[in-house]
Chain A
């Protein structure tokens, strides 16, 4: 007979982190939604400026209102179950990512393998984007789904090894412990390669900026070619939420968590998240697209060796310290 034990993580593993009740997850999701709205507003301003016009702050609200009134488009022999799961679960996945991110001293889910948890969630995005592309039974959206997987084969391993570096330095896979291990010197400063590759990975699993060819106009919008109305709204919100979750997770991993002068820890976590999120939104129009058919070689011949050397350096330093 299997001895079923309570979920680990109900007791804090790290003295600096307090586990709060599951009811606070509502606040976490509200914060995530707030970041989504802020990121969409910033993107509205930037896209208005790119076309020479003023304003743009209200663009996401107008777009949301338009999509909510739009009639849902249907396609022949669509696999509706998989299609809806793909689009709707992006936001859920982002919420599961932020569950392991401590907000200053509080965390909802103090999992001892929080870094692996984040990694498992970002891999889930592979399935969700492809399912969204598959479900519509449309050639263009399926091509978009495969473009995303082609990028995935290139970015995922560098991203995994980028997450390894802070974990080695902190000697823990617990996110709170990683944040606590950066006394005085942020990991972003002495492992810049891992930080850079991590940010590239965040853009990639959010199908953002240079990794947007899966959604590009040359294949009629790719994965979202047939998405309309609320489905499209939920899909877009999910992308912004993934971007925000990626920025939030970078704070305890690379930017010292809640460490900072004057303000309390939770405020610093939010400030750092917002700054990083703004950077990621801004970068959208600043980098050229990575072609899906050639990016794998960049990932495996440039990014992966660079991150492995970074891991080696971090491991040598960690052994030297210990």
Chain B
């Protein structure tokens, strides 16, 4: 593990992984900088490095929660599934928008509480973000201390739809946990949760 980082030369610091983790946002900002300039040149990289360091010194980020790296295969699968969800639900909401033009009772929705299996706030944030990205569901309240999020789901007008949405979130969460890897996304059982997402992941 020591010496694995290409940025950590010299006297080996005790916390190589931590250093790498702190280097990640710098690398990301430099990448954005270079992309904004549009052309790769060493002047751009150096300028980006300076800007990134200044920005991160002035506005320090909270420590990243993860240990270890994304797992590539699981990440690919999660991205693929999410893409499918995105397309399907976009078409669904498009249909519902057109359907609402017809005279008749307006469309009904639900505000659904979804308990999560993972105790990690980071997983919660990612799941929230992904759910809000998908048309048809918007997370309107998050309470990390209860490990529960509340989502408004368009067109969920019976108990079956509510249960289906909970199932969808559980699958999404399992995907996220699988992609992040267990150390970064601990799953512990709360007394109230069923932990079905954790079961699927546990194999």
Q: Do A and B bind each other?
A: no
- Interfacial residues, chain A to chain B (CB-CB below 8 A): none
